[in-house]
Amino acid sequence: MTTEITLENIGAPNVPYFTPIQDPPPGTPLSLIKRKITQSNGEITEFPPLFTPLKIRDTILPNRIVVSPMCTYSAQDGMLTDWHLVHLGQFALRGVGLIIIEATAVTAEGRISPNDSGLWKDEQIAPLKRIVDFVHSQGVKIGIQLAHAGRKASTATPYILSKGLLSPEKYGGWPNDVVGPSPIPWDENHAYPKELTVEQIYEIEEAYVAAAKRAEKAGFDIIELHFAHGYLAHEFFSPISNKRTDQYGGSFENRVRYGLETTKKVREVWSKDKPLFVRISATDWVDNGEGNSWEIKQSVKLSELLKDLGVDLIDVSSGGNTPEQKLHPMTAYQVSFAEEIKKNANINTGAVGLIRDPKLANNIVSSGYADLVFLARSFLLDGSWAIKAAEELGVLIRTPTQYHYAIEKFLIRDA
């Protein structure tokens, strides 16, 4: 089994500088490495599922490995910089199937910290487009995660104040403008949020719409809506943080209303041929009686509703909505949630959370637990994780033309 590769030195189109066209794109499985593909039941003759393509709408990913959104708190006034170009661009050279840019606020007040990525004004399009254009020049797909931090906004950059202490005004914070579904702070070190009016809820929904239109102008392939980790949508979902008595509080249907309205509006303006993902927290990790927190059963039901609105994949994380959570992170501890949502809501899912072993990642896909595997810290530890994972699983994958000859010779020298 092999995939043909063209190594003509032809320039990539629509790029204002010369960079060779990557055909097929990096991350595409090319051939099996013979010395790696024997098992007790005989020779492997097919690519491992982790290195098979996935088509969602008109977007084809060459493999199932995703660079997960990673907040780096390195923007100024929401603008990404050359640092982000290098940080994200490196993954485009390392065989991943998809890159997703970190949580990008749809309003200035919706940032987690003063140094978050933003897309609330047109001036923020160009720095993002520069990154998108580079990633596309390498034949790789890229998405963006749109977010609003809700009651967890205006906090200090965690690598400066690790406990998420309230950012004082003199450090660029906005504690008096933090909002949430109800006036309940996340903890004593966070701002006391103002309860959103219905009119303000509509305004935030429209801010998502405007950001989605800007994402289209920047050329993104995928949008992911960040409805997890105790940020605004998750705050609405959970009875722990939502004590409203109007149409946005109380029953399950009311608590998910804001998230569904936002999703519907974004889907209506986002290109029909482009995928829409949603990241959710499957559970609050709080055992205080059924129906008193956000739980996996509700996540399954929400996922069904999101699918009906045109969402293509649920990126399944967990926690983040309360300091009372009983969360004990361990290898692949959230995969079972992705499996349950995939099975019961009949929708594509992404698995996240302390996944470092390539064989484990491959098993997640091969067993049908999830369709994509999202990795963050694994890529911070090793930007070439996908290349090394392919080698371990017995596959030679396409890497950039400038690297491929050397990598190919290195990997198959003992074949």
Q: Which residues are catalytic?
A: 231
List b or e across 167-203, with b for residues whose CB sees 16 or more CB atoms inside 10 angstroms. beeeeebebeebbbbbebbbeeebbebeebeeeebee
Mapping DSSP to helix (H, G, I), strand (E, B) and coil, where does residue 377 land? Answer: helix
Q: Is 167 left (phi over 0), alpha (psi -120 to 50) or beta?
A: beta
Closest C-alpha to 252, from 304, 206, 216, 201: 304
Backbone angles phi, psi at 272, to 5 degrees: -65, -25
Alpha-carbon span 58 to 407, nearest angstrom: 30
Question: How far apart (Å, rounded) are the C-alpha atoms in residues 252 and 289?
Answer: 15
Q: Give residue 196's identity as a one-letter amino acid code.
A: L
d(CA 70, CA 339): 23
CA pair distance 405, 7, nearest whole angstrom: 10
Which residues are 222's β-sheet partners?
Answer: 143
Burial class (CB in 10 A: 0-12, 13-18, 19+), 322: buried
Please answer whether residues 351 and 373 qualify as being in contact, where contact means their C-beta atoms are separated by less than 8 angstroms.
Answer: yes
